[in-house]
Amino acid sequence: MSHDVELVSRVLGEAREAVLAELQQLFAVRRQTGYGPLYDLLSDYPFREGKGLRPAICFAACRAAGGQTEQALKSAAALELFHNAFLVHDDVEDGSHFRRGQVTLFRAHGVPAAVNVGDATNVLALGLLLDNTATLGVRKSLQVFQEVERMARESAEGQAIELSWIANERFDLDDRDYVGMAYKKTCWYTVIAPLRIGVICGSPPGGRAPLDDDLLPLIEIGFLAGIAFQIHDDLLNLESEEALYGKESAGDLYEGKRTIMLLHLLRTVRGSTRQRVVRLLRTPRSRKRPEDVAWLYRTMVEARSLEHGRAVAIDYSERALALYSHGLPFLRENEDAGFLGEMLRYVIDRAK
């Protein structure tokens, strides 16, 4: 299921360039009026090499709805800040060592500094959303704010579910549990919110704007695409070279994350093998040995757990494409609508 590499690369690159220019300007102002060293840390994650997927979806949805890039600029930049705040906090919660090819913020500067950076990044994002009133007006700005509130709430709930599975040593989960967790943790802030916010920003004013009921299909499309994205991301964590993936290889196994592949393994293996798997998952990250994690990975391969994950990801991506192909009345047939369709292929065809 290959995507249009030229189109996707170009739209992602343009979106990232536009958002980074907006953030560069924002950080420069804040350094002049606030505590400069804080904003040096805040600018760390956003300016590491990343995909820019969320801003690209937001911009494309805005233009496909008839708007201009500028109408979605503040919202797209805010989404990128929220994303990076989530990453900073997520790295602390998971004890991750690397992010986007470099040492994580908390390992470089300590947990207190990293938590404060994540908090401050969220505050900056709120400021950008307030700035929307100048270009979008109060009504649309409030709509965007409502979308962000739900996005953040769903993501926090999803993270809480995942953390509770590890803390409570849950080994009785199935694919439906994983999908329910990822719908909250990943789908809302990776696909659903960027899609819906982009359409809100770019839609015509007044009575010609799509109603909330009209936007409901974007939740289903974003759900299907988001699940495919997260499963593929979990696969990349297991299979990709660390330098290309940008995060530590097999980090999910060290952290004991209940990926769809790990849940398949727990359902498949029996006897002493399953007992060893469970014993490894109960072992704190700091005490896991590389050779034990390597054994766990080999066992997943032998149990065809990775093949199961790939099949599920492809199924969700194909369902998203089928739904999107029916068309949405408020989206024009242009290159940006084409990008949104290609994005549904890209989520399981990317290398990082």
- The CATH number for 180's domain is 1.10.600.10
Q: How far apart are CA 257 and CA 234, in angstroms?
A: 9
Token pair of 191 as six digits: 């696909």
In a domain, 351, yes or no: no
Whether 268 maps to a domain, the answer reads yes
In a domain, 194, yes or no: yes
- Output Rg (C-alpha) for the chain, integer angstroms: 20
Q: Is 196 within a domain?
A: yes
pLDDT at residue number 103: 93
Range of the domain at 123: 5-346
Cα 39 to Cα 201: distance, rounded to the nearest angstrom: 28
* 293-298 own/partner pairs: CB under 8 Å, 24+ apart: 293/250, 293/253, 293/254, 294/250, 296/253, 297/238, 297/250, 297/253
242-286: per-residue pLDDT in tens? Answer: 544 455 678 899 999 999 999 999 999 999 999 999 999 999 988
**Residue 173: inside a domain, yes or no?**
yes
Euclidean distance between CA atoms 267 and 262, whole angstroms: 9
CA torsion, ordered 186, 187, 192, 195, to nearest 10 deg: 70
Evaluate whether residue 352 is within a structural domain: no
Whole-model pTM: value is 0.93
Q: Per-10-residue mean pLDDT for the chain, 352 residues long?
A: 87 96 96 94 91 95 96 98 95 89 93 96 96 94 96 96 95 97 96 97 82 88 96 91 59 93 97 97 92 96 97 95 90 94 89 64
- 93 touches 159 (CB < 8 A): yes
What pLDDT score does 3 carry? 85
* DSSP one-letter code for 287: G
The count of structural domains within the chain is 1
Q: Report yes or no: 36 and 101 within 8 Å, Cβ to Cβ.
A: no
